[in-house]
Each structure stands twice: as C-alpha cells, then as structure tokens.
Amino acid sequence: MEVFKFGGASVRDAASVKNVISVLQKTGYKDKVIVVSAMGKMTNAFEIVIAEYLQTRKAPLELLSELKEFHLEIARGLFELASAPVFKMIDELFKELINFMDHNKSIQYDFVYDQIVGYGELVSSKILSEYLKSQSIEHSWMDARKLIKTDSIYRDATIDWEETQKNISGKLKPGELYVTQGFIASDANNFSTTLGREGSDYTAAILAYCLNAEKVIIWKDVPGVLNADPRVFENPQLLNQISYEEAIELAFYGASVIHPKTLQPLQRKEIPLFVKSFIDPEGAGTSVSKGQTLIPAIPCFIVKKNQVLISLSSLDFSFMVEENISEIFKLFHQYQMKVDLIQNSAISFAVCVDNRFNNLEKLIQHLKARFKVSFITGVSLYTIRHFDDTAIKTLEKDKEVLLKQVMQNTVQLVTTA
C-alpha cells in the first residue's frame, strides 16, 4: 500500500482538485490512502474564526459564511449540477460547526481550537471524495478521527499507537483506495485533537507505519526538498536524496517541507518517503531513506521568523547551574515554548524560542520572579547545515547578528531581521 499526502496548495481551487485526479491517473489509484489538507489557506482562516468566537462567545456567522462560500465556489467548478450531493454535505458540515459553537461551554483556547480548525480538512476531503465519485473512481471516505487516537493534549496531541494500530488495521484493507484527512485525530472521549500545525505529513507517516506501507509521497508545489526556502533565498537547489537522520535534523531546525514528527515512524520501519511536485508528478523529486546523508553534499539554509530571544541571569550574579536550568526548562514546558537554540555562560543563559501558543507574557512574568530577564521579539533564527565559510558570510551580510553558535555540522545565527 502507498500513502499520498496532498497539502493545501494542491487542493486550493477547482483546477487543483482536478489535478489530483490527474496525478492519480498517472500513478495508479488502487492500494492507496490519500491524506488531504485544508484547501489553500483555510487553516489560517479558521484560526481567525476561533479568535472572534472566543472573544464574542457567538458563532461569527459572517466569517463562516465567507468560508462556506469559498468551498461552495470550488465545488461549483467541479460539479455542474446544483443538486450534486457535495453541496448538501458542505452545508451540513458548517451547520455542525455552528451547532458546536452555540452549545460549547468551554473557553479553553486549545480545546476550542481543535474542535473547530479541523473542519477545513473535513470539508476539503469531502469535496475531493465526491469529485472522485463523479469520475467513477471507487474509494471510501474515512474520518481520520475514527482512525487515529491520541491523548487530550489539544493542539499537540500524542498518538495512542496501540488503539491507532487496531483501528487502521481493522478499517483499511489492502487493494482499496481511501480518502482521509490530515492533521486531525480524537481522544478517548471522542473530542477532536490535532497533531500540531502542518501535521498532515505526520498523519501520512502514522498511516504508513500502521499499514506497513511500501512508500509515502508528499505532493508539493516545489520539485522536491530544496536546500533553501525559495521564498527567502535565491537560486535554491534540489536535494536528490537525504538520509532519515539528515531529514530529521533539517525538520528539527525548521525546514518547512517535512513536518518534524514525520520521519520517526517511517525510519523505524524503513519506509521510504518521497517529496514530489504535483505539477510534474513524473519528476524524480527527493527521496528520504536509509543511505548517504545528502546528495548533492551542499549547505542547507533554514530560517524561522518571528522568534523570541530570551536572556536570563541570576539576580545575585551566582552561577547558572543545573538547578537553575532545570527550573527554566520546566517553565518552558509548562508554557509550551519550543526551544530552538541554547547558549549559556557562567552567569547567563540565552535561548531562542518559538512562541507558537502565545504564552510569552505569562512565561516572562514567571521568570522575573527568579531571574533577571531581557527579551527581544520578532527575531529570525537562521540555521546552516553542512556550512562553509562562503555560506556563513553570505548569510551574515547586511544583518545584525545578536547571537551565533557554531557546531561541527551546523551554525545558527539569531538576527534582528
């Protein structure tokens, strides 16, 4: 069995949905699971809905109407008849969402987020499924929440592998074609959970692991994994092959092509991962598997924007020892801060963190009770894997470097822009 993951860019409009069918016709559509993300930038749009809902405690009907119309417009580009079942399905999903908002009593952001944001994937997968039917492609639509079970850490749930394996083995049969959603799952109480932002890649890996899949293909709007983000760096080069270990390193440092959690389950069973272009499905793309670290062996550039540089020192100028550092990391965990860089001296400790859950203000207030604290928001963290002098000089040009750390294979720079 093979697992295909189609991201938001690959289903952003009617023409893109039709192109998914074209890809399947070229690759074959038997013995596959298709994992689909929300269409276009819908996850961002649903996040705006969540913010307004929690502020007013009422369903933002005007915003929801706009999102519904976005999906209806895509459906109109795929189905000639207004009586096509997809239109009723879209309507029912948005009614279901409004019903949740009308009856929900919780004001806990992470919980509410997970109950709402996954509707982007649910609507997207329904539209794709109905279009497959219209093209006489036999398949089954599956609710990922009935397949993948997790704990109740909303927005960053951990997989219950035993229950998930049981569900997937029992419901997905070899030789068939299935359509399901990325990113979403459910806990023991059947409340929706999510696997972390951009978590659809991880969904594909979970399914592949439980199915002992032959391969996973992530379909993107780029020719494969590049050595730099083309939106930030000029003339990026295609990486033909990457080892699992190197891919994990690149993902850890923030390379956006592959979700950080994706590689671990695939590596455990040595299931190869391919990153290919849905524009050129017959292109070679990038393979991630056991083997040589990086082909070609060139520097890889990664940037994470909108980070926070926090500098700490003890109030009495005593050493920053293990006890202090342990306390600091407990707070980072408590406030869900992703630590991307650490640098310490005898009396100071600096970290670059990702404030992805907007808990910075609470964290800083807590830290100030025990430490002298300064911080700078809006910084950029640049990482170069397999660096050389030319790569470092190119990156440092015209930038104010706040912190620099050089390791054997990796250099990291925190800059003001």
Question: What does the block give as tokens for 84?
Answer: 């096509």
Residue 125: other Cβ atoms inside 10 A = 27
CA-nearest of 367, 226, 204 to 298 is 226
C-beta neighbour count of 385 within 10 angstroms: 21
CA-to-CA dists, residue 63 to 52, 86, 98, 192, 199, angstroms: 9, 21, 11, 22, 25
Report the alpha-carbon distance of residue 343 to residue 19 in Å, rounded: 47
Contact 58, 103 (CB under 8 A): no
| Cis status of the peptide bond prior to 85, with omega within 30 of 0 | no
Is 231 annotated for ligand binding?
yes
Q: Give every CB contact of residue 36 below 8 A, 6+ residues apart in sequence.
A: 5, 6, 11, 121, 124, 125, 128, 179, 180, 181, 182, 200
Strands (E), 211-368: 215-220, 241-243, 273-277, 286-289, 294-295, 300-314, 338-344, 348-354
- Burial classification of residue 102, based on how many CB atoms lie within 10 Å of its CB (0-12 exposed, 13-18 middle, 19 or more buried): exposed
Q: Contact at 8 Å (CB) between 26 and 19?
A: no
Quote the Cα angle for 383-249-239, to 5°.
80
**Do residues 118 and 194 make contact, with C-beta atoms less than 8 angstroms apart?**
yes
Secondary-structure percent of the chain, ordered helix, strand, coil, rounded to 5: 40, 25, 35
Known binding-site residues equal 231
Known binding-site residues for ATP equal 231
